Amino acid sequence: MPIAKVEGVKLSDIDQSAIDAIVYESDQDMLSGLWSDETSLLSVLESFRNNPLFQYAQITTFTYDPLVGVRSITQPSGVKEFYTYDAENRLEKVSQEIKDGFGNNTVKTVKEYNYHLKN
């Protein structure tokens, strides 16, 4: 599964140490198990996105929980979407991190899913 989609930059222009840092944090996140704290992985992805060498690139980043699904997607615009799953690993909620009128980050639910099973 992709961790980052980088458009407008050649692979040879990306420092190998940046790639290694992302892969390392992704591996650590996977080893931590389902619903682990992704703070370190999100931080290294954010540093990658904010690299001045990529100021004209379009970068989309992804985080996942194996066998469950995508946990977050950060669009090239910087808008972050978070995906929450229920105990049966079904998509439960999609939220977006947006800036309020004061420039503070706030999380807003944009979609919710309910499952009603019939016998």
Kindly calculate the radius of gyration of the chain based on its CA atoms and give it in whole angstroms.
16
Closest by alpha carbon to 81, among 68, 92, 97, 65?
97
Please report, for the chain, the start and end positions of each structural domain, with discontinuous segments joined by +: 4-112
Contact present, 91 and 85 (Cβ < 8 Å): yes
- When pLDDT is averaged across residues 21-50 and rounded to a whole number, the result is 88
Q: What does the pLDDT read at residue 38?
A: 86
In the chain, DSSP finds a helix count (H) and a strand count (E) of 2, 6
pLDDT one-digit tens code per residue, 49-108: 999 989 999 999 999 988 899 999 999 999 999 999 999 999 999 999 988 888 888 999
Q: pTM surpassing 0.75?
A: yes
Q: What does the pLDDT read at residue 100?
A: 82
Q: pLDDT at residue 37 above 90? A: no
pLDDT range class, residue 45, cuts 50, 70, 90: very high
Residues 6 or more apart in contact with residue 16 via CB below 8 angstroms: none
Q: What does the pLDDT read at residue 48?
A: 95
